[in-house]
C-alpha cells in the first residue's frame, strides 16, 4: 500500500457484529473499498464478549461484571484468552480473508504494542493498557496488510490479561498516533428521550452519567472515547456498524454517530 500523509485509522469492532457473517462481510467490503480509494492504513481492534459469555455458560462458569468491566478470575484467563485471542480473532481474520483482505491476526502483546498491567485486584486478570512500541504493527501496515488485534495482552512478567476492547483500541490508537472510530451495536450516545447526541464534551458526559442516562458498559465506552480524544487531541467517534452503506463516509471523517471532543 502506498504511504500517505493521512493518519492511520483504528477501528474498534465489537458487539453482535462479530456473530453475524453477513454484517462482517459488508463491513470488510466497506473497509476494502475505503482502503483502496483512500490509500490509508487501517487496523482493527476487537472484543468478543458474546463468545466469552457462550463459553462460560457451556463451562457452567458465572459471568460477573463490575462497572461495565468483566471480572476475570486468574484461573479463568486461559479460557477467556482462548475465546478472544483465539476463536474471535480467527473468525474475524477468516472472514476478512474470505472478503479479499490480507488480514493478519495479532494481540496487544505482539511486538510490545501495548504495555499492560493489572487494573484492579478485585477484577482479577483485567488489564490496563497504555501505548507501547508500534514498530511491528507499522511493519505489518507498511506491507499492505490489515491487522486484526485482539484485546488480550501480557504484563512484563508474561501474565495474560483481558483488556476491555474499547480501552485497548485507545491504547493502539495512541501507539500509532491514529484516528479512532469505536463501532458498536448502538448508533452513538442517546439522550433521555432516545435521540442521538451528535457531540459530547467531558462535562456533558459526566452529567449524563450522574443522571444515569449513560449506564453500564456504555460508561466504559464513553470514558474510553473521552480519554482518547484528550490523549490524541482529536475528536473520537462512537457509531454503529448497522448501516454498512454509511461506513465509507464515517471512515473518511464524516460523523454518523456521537463525536467526543477533546478538552
Q: Which positions are catalytic?
A: 12, 15, 49, 166, 221
Is 48 annotated as ligand-binding?
yes
**Is 207 in a helix, a strand, or coil?**
helix
Q: Which three cell numbers stand for residue 80?
A: 477467556
162 is in an annotated binding site: yes
Could you tell me where the DSSP H helices lie in the chain? Answer: 21-38, 49-58, 77-81, 89-98, 135-142, 165-176, 202-210, 216-232, 247-251
Helix (H, G, I), strand (E, B) or coil at 112: helix
Q: Distance between CA atoms of 150 and 196, rounded to whole angstroms?
A: 29
70 is in an annotated binding site: yes
CA angle, 167 then 119 then 240, to 5°: 20
What are the phi and psi torsion angles at 187 (to 5°)?
-75, -5
68 vs 60: CA distance, rounded Å = 21
Q: From the CB of residue 115, how many other CB atoms can be counted at a distance below 10 Å?
A: 20
Binding residues for substrate: 48-49, 70, 162
Amino acid at each position: 500500500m502506498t504511504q500517505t500523509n493521512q493518519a492511520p485509522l483504528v477501528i474498534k469492532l465489537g458487539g453482535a457484529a462479530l456473530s453475524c457473517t453477513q454484517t462482517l462481510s459488508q463491513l470488510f467490503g466497506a473497509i476494502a473499498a475505503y482502503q483502496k480509494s483512500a490509500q490509508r492504513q487501517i487496523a482493527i481492534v476487537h472484543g468478543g464478549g458474546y463468545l466469552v459469555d457462550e463459553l462460560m455458560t457451556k463451562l457452567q462458569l458465572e459471568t460477573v461484571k463490575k462497572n461495565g468491566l468483566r471480572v476475570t478470575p486468574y484461573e479463568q484467563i486461559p479460557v477467556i484468552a482462548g475465546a478472544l485471542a483465539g476463536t474471535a480473532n480467527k473468525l474475524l481474520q477468516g472472514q476478512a480473508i474470505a472478503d479479499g483482505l490480507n488480514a493478519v491476526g495479532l494481540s496487544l502483546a505482539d511486538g510490545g504494542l501495548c504495555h499492560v498491567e493489572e487494573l484492579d485486584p478485585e477484577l482479577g486478570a483485567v488489564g490496563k493498557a497504555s501505548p507501547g512500541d508500534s514498530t511491528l504493527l507499522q511493519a505489518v501496515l507498511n506491507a499492505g496488510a490489515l491487522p486484526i488485534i485482539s484485546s488480550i495482552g501480557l504484563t512484563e512478567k508474561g501474565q495474560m490479561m483481558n483488556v476491555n476492547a474499547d480501552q485497548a483500541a485507545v491504547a493502539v490508537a495512541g501507539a500509532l498516533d491514529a484516528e479512532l472510530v469505536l463501532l458498536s451495536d448502538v448508533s452513538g450516545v442517546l439522550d433521555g428521550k432516545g435521540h442521538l447526541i451528535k457531540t459530547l464534551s467531558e462535562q456533558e458526559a459526566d452529567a449524563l452519567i450522574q443522571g444515569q442516562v449513560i449506564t453500564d458498559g456504555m460508561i466504559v465506552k464513553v470514558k474510553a472515547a473521552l480519554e482518547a480524544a484528550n490523549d490524541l487531541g482529536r475528536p473520537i467517534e462512537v457509531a454503529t456498524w448497522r448501516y454498512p452503506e454509511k461506513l465509507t463516509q464515517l471512515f473518511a471523517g464524516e460523523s454518523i454517530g456521537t463525536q467526543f471532543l477533546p478538552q
